[in-house]
């Protein structure tokens, strides 16, 4: 082994505390990178394999009624491979608790061997030829504790219909089970899917030889727009409600966005950890090179060149990085397996296609090597300036002088002796001060983010269901009704105020961009919607024109005053052009809003409504449950209960992020303090001679760190604010928008946590001070 390599091992042994702390920072960053990258890839591959296994559809069509004969004509469209029809209706389910409102979606299964959106049987079997035999979606079966052999009773067309459960299945169409885009979270105990025979569905719902939904597979994804356009033309007469491409299908979209967010996290968070590790290595090497002046001079005198000595110190940085990278790779692979299992359970995927992607491990090592080599080269650069003769004598002491605060005499005379030393030392060591303050400020910012994220969901819910929507109940009808239907609701329940609503899907177009969304028509002077623009100013609906939510406006690339085309799927109704009168904030869902009168006149029929919004202290869902045309009664209280269950799961992720921030803060403070102690060993020895005890020296270092922590927290506030804004912007979608609300409580909590991390790091350096050989330090010329 080369002599310099032997010395490298000694160097690592003598600084093992710092070596371990920096390696842990690197390992954490790369663990996140490897685990999140592999999980995202495994999740994507699992979903793709599952879609292939179950023949997941490319296009989904919802219509009023399409005859079976029309399907054969659709197959003539160039590019279409398979067309299958089905009947789908939402109906109430009878449960033991009469106050509980549970709905199921009854979906027919085509009488063919190769089905689009085929089912993955988990228990039991699909029984053909027996109309009352059904299979139930796994999420709903688990939530309601439904087993094979059980009986269910559904209210179909006002009559109770008994269904026999013959199997439990998973469906690629409902991996993420949500009733619609307006649902905040999955609620499998409130909504499920039941699959029945085609004969049973057509007979029960009056759809003999016809369907209300189509599933289509195409040959070439590049021709999607062309095929959709031809479908619109041929299906116009059948009352098409929506034509949904695979990328816009709700469950698939939620899965795709989750994979995308995992990818974003895997690319941003690790870079922050590696940057901090590189900064620590840089500061550490500057101190080591300074202390090794004599040894470097001797090595140069013995014939070692600048390259060999520089490489020696770069190796030191590289060994730390590679050690951290190896640990990070191993733990990352292990964690990726656990994360994949968690996602499979959360999204109810019936299988997992898992592999180890060595390319990410290689990227991790390469990325670490780049950061560490760069930090090593910059940190060890002073080696080039050391001459053998000059290195034999100590460095000239730095020129001293009064600091700025000393000139403010009325203030300086009240500062104690120990605090004067603290302030002077900080002023003398500007580089170390800047590094420590920046590091702690980053720690503070990283700590602010998970606390903000923990409250972001609560804020999103509160703003949407408390400020934006002010109704107590939202009632949807199972078909368009006359406004007289409002009277029936008012007669059965004690209603303080009631408003009609008209909600119908349309396609909004501008240029080549298009989006199918529900336009909601409400009274111009609505009391249940508080529309606000991006300046948080309240705005009122106009007589004419349309309001778009912020996410929808971004997706269509339109602004206030632009013209958009509304493609109407209702038979006999023409497409219309309207002006965008405003862009409004909506934190959940994606919608457009119009004056209900204008919407009736231009898009639907006069006097037509699809539901009502109600303000009432009465148990409205109990009072209207027997109304035949009521399909869904959604209360804010029910949404709160679902939300609280989800919130419990987010606490774990918040805790993990805070732990990561704590480890980062510990590494920064610990290494900075160790470097400070090593650089000032002679100063501390002199203080011991003057009568200072070891605890006094420890207190002085504590004061320095705490003063810098206070400054860092102040500087960290805008860093934390910027990070939260960046996170919100990166993770916003057209389905939900994260509100950036940072209260004093968030900053105070983060400050307390940061001080705690600094205090723990401070305790870890206590042994170093008490074990410092003060007599030896006074003998040492170099120190």
- Does residue 434 surpass a pLDDT of 90? no
Q: Yes or no: say if 205 and 89 are a contact pair by the CB < 8 Å rule.
A: yes
Question: Is residue 635 helix, strand or coil?
Answer: strand
- 169 in helix, strand or coil? strand
Confidence of residue 419 (pLDDT cuts 50, 70, 90): confident
Distance, in Å, from the CA atom of 258 to the CA atom of 255, rounded to the nearest integer, reads 5
Given a cut of 90, is residue 713 above it in pLDDT? yes
Q: Look at 171-180, 401-410, 701-710 and tell me which has the smallest mean pLDDT.
A: 401-410
Does residue 708 carry a pLDDT above 70? yes
Compare 638 and 224 and report the one with higher pLDDT.
224
3-state secondary structure of 195: strand
Better-scored residue on pLDDT, 98 or 439: 439
Q: Over the range 417-428, which residues count as b (16 or more CB within 10 Å of their CB) and which as e? A: eeeebbbebbee
For residue range 681-707, what is the model confidence (pLDDT) as tens digits? Answer: 777 777 777 777 878 888 888 888 888
- The pLDDT tens digits for 4-43 are 878 888 888 888 878 888 899 899 899 999 999 999 999 9
What pLDDT is attached to residue 643?
64
Exposed, middle or buried by CB within 10 Å (0-12, 13-18, 19+), for 441?
A: buried
Tell me the average pLDDT of the chain. 84
Neighbours of 92 (CB within 10 A): 19
Among the residue ranges 366-380, 484-498, 740-754, the one predicted with the least confidence is 484-498
**pLDDT tens for each residue of 553-602:** 988 999 999 999 998 877 778 889 999 999 998 887 788 999 999 999 89
Q: Give the residue ranges of DSSP H helices in 189-347.
A: 198-205, 224-235, 250-291, 293-301, 306-346
pLDDT band at 367 (very low <50, low <70, confident <90, very high): very high
- What is the model's pLDDT at position 598? 92
Q: Over 90: is that where the pLDDT of 733 sits?
A: no
pLDDT at res. 631? 73
Mean pLDDT calculated for residue range 135-160: 88
Q: Mean per-residue pLDDT for 224-252? A: 86
Stretch 173-193: mean pLDDT, rounded? 81
Round to whole Å and give the CA distance between 127 and 166: 7
Residue 124 bridge partners (DSSP): 167
Dihedrals phi, psi of 140, to nearest 5 degrees: -70, -40
Averaged pLDDT for residues 349-373: 92
How high is the pLDDT of residue 595?
94
Percent of the chain at pLDDT above 90?
25
Tens of pLDDT along 310-328?
888 899 899 999 999 999 9
Q: Sign of torsion, CA 271 277 278 280? A: positive
CB 207 within 8 A of CB 86: no
**What is the Cα–Cα distance from 267 to 36, expressed in whole angstroms?**
9
If you write DSSP's letter for every residue of 78-98 in order, what string do you get? Answer: TTEEEEEEE-EEEEEB--S-T
Q: Domain limits of the chain?
A: 1-60+248-395, 88-206, 415-468+651-783, 473-616
Q: What is the band of 641 on the pLDDT scale with cuts at 50, 70, 90?
A: low
At residue 450's C-alpha, the angle toward residues 445 and 454, to 5°, is 140
Longest dimension (CA), the chain: 102
Q: How much is the pLDDT for 195?
A: 94
Average pLDDT of 299-303? Answer: 83
- Over residues 535-552, mean pLDDT: 89
Confidence of residue 446 (pLDDT cuts 50, 70, 90): confident
Asked if pLDDT for residue 783 goes beyond 50, the answer is: no
Lowest mean pLDDT among 136-145, 267-276, 626-635: 626-635
Q: How far apart, in whole angstroms, are the C-alpha atoms of residue 1 and residue 363? A: 29
Best mean pLDDT range from 111-120, 281-290, 362-371, 632-641: 362-371
Q: What is the pLDDT of residue 93?
A: 86
pLDDT category at 782 given cuts 50, 70, 90 is very low
pLDDT digits (tens, 9 = 90+) for 246-266: 988 888 988 888 888 888 888
Question: Alpha-carbon distance 281 to 368, whole Å?
Answer: 12
pLDDT at 340 (0 to 100): 87
Note the pLDDT of residue 612. Answer: 92
Residue 779, pLDDT score:
59
Q: Are 423 and 403 in contact (CB under 8 A)?
A: yes
- The lowest-confidence range among 87-101, 247-261, 649-663 is 649-663
Q: What is residue 77's DSSP assignment?
A: S
Output DSSP code: residue 397. Answer: P
Question: How far is Cα 747 from Cα 739, in angstroms, rounded to an integer?
Answer: 17
């Amino acid at each position: 082994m080369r002599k310099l390599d032997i010395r490298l091992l000694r160097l690592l042994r003598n600084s093992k505390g710092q070596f371990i702390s920096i390696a842990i920072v690197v390992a954490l960053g790369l663990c996140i990178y490897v685990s999140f990258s592999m999980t995202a890839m495994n999740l994507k591959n699992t979903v793709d394999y599952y879609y292939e296994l179950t023949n997941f559809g490319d296009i989904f069509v919802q219509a009023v009624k399409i005859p079976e004969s029309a399907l054969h004509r659709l197959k003539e469209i160039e590019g279409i491979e398979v067309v299958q029809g089905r009947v789908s209706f939402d109906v109430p389910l009878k449960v033991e608790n009469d106050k509980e409102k549970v709905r199921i979606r009854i979906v027919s299964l085509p009488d063919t061997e190769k089905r689009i959106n085929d089912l993955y049987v988990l228990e039991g079997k699909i029984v053909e030829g027996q109309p009352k035999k059904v299979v139930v979606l796994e999420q709903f079966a688990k939530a309601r504790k439904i087993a094979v052999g059980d009986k269910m009773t559904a209210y179909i067309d006002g009559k109770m219909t008994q269904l026999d459960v013959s199997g439990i299945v998973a469906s690629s169409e409902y991996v993420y089970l949500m009733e619609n885009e307006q649902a905040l979270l999955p609620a499998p105990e409130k909504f499920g899917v039941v699959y029945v025979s085609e004969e049973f569905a057509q007979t029960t719902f009056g759809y003999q030889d016809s369907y209300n939904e189509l599933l289509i597979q195409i040959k070439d994804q590049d021709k999607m727009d062309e095929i959709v356009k031809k479908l619109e033309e041929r299906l116009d007469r059948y009352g098409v409600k929506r034509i949904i491409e695979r990328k816009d299908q709700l469950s698939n979209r939620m899965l795709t966005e989750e994979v995308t967010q995992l990818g974003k996290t895997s690319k941003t968070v690790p870079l922050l950890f590696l940057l901090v590790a590189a900064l620590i290595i840089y500061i550490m090497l500057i101190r080591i090179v300074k202390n090794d002046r004599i040894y470097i001079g001797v090595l140069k005198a013995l014939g070692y060149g600048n390259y060999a000595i520089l490489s020696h110190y770069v190796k030191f940085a590289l060994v730390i990085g590679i050690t951290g990278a190896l640990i990070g790779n191993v733990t990352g692979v292990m964690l990726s397996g656990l994360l994949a299992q968690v996602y499979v359970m959360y999204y109810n995927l019936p299988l997992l296609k898992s592999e180890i992607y060595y390319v990410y491990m290689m990227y991790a090592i390469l990325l670490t090597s780049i950061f560490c080599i760069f930090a090593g080269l910059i940190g060890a650069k002073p080696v080039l300036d050391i001459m053998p003769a000059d290195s034999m004598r100590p460095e000239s002491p730095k020129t001293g002088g009064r600091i700025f605060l000393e000139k403010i005499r009325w203030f300086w005379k009240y500062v104690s002796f120990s605090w004067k030393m603290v302030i002077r030392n900080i002023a003398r060591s500007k580089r170390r001060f800047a590094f420590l303050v920046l590091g702690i400020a980053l720690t503070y910012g990283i700590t602010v983010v998970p606390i903000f994220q923990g409250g972001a969901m609560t804020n999103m819910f509160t703003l949407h269901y408390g400020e934006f929507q002010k109704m107590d109940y939202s009632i949807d009808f199972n078909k368009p009704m006359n406004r007289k239907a409002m009277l029936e609701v008012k007669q059965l329940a004690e209603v303080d105020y009631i408003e009609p609503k008209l909600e119908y899907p349309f396609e909004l177009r501008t240029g080549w961009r298009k989006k199918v969304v529900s336009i909601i028509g409400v009274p111009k002077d609505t009391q249940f919607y508080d529309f606000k623009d991006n300046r948080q100013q309240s705005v009122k609906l106009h007589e004419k024109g349309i309001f778009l939510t912020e996410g929808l406006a971004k997706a269509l690339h339109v602004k206030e005053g632009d013209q958009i085309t509304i493609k109407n799927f209702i038979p006999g109704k023409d497409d219309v052009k309207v002006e965008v009168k405003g862009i409004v904030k909506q934190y959940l869902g994606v919608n457009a809003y119009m004056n209900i009168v204008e919407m009736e006149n231009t898009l639907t029929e006069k006097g037509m409504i699809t539901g009502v919004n109600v303000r009432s202290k009465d148990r409205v869902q109990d009072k209207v449950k027997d109304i035949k045309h009521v399909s869904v009664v959604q209360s804010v209280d029910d949404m709160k209960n679902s939300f609280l269950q989800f919130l419990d799961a987010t606490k774990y992720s918040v805790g993990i992020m805070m732990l990561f921030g704590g480890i980062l803060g510990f590494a920064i403070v610990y290494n900075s303090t160790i470097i400070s102690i090593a650089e000032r060993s002679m100063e501390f020895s002199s203080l011991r001679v003057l009568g200072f005890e070891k605890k006094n020296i420890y207190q002085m270092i504590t004061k320095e760190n705490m003063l810098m922590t206070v400054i860092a927290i102040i500087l960290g506030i805008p860093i934390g604010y910027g990070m939260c804004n960046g996170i919100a912007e990166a993770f916003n979608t057209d389905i939900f928008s994260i509100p950036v609300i940072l209260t004093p409580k968030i900053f105070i909590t983060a400050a307390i946590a940061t001080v705690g991390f600094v205090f723990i790091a401070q305790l870890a350096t206590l042994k170093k001070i008490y074990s410092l050989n003060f007599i030896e330090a006074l003998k040492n010329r170099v120190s």
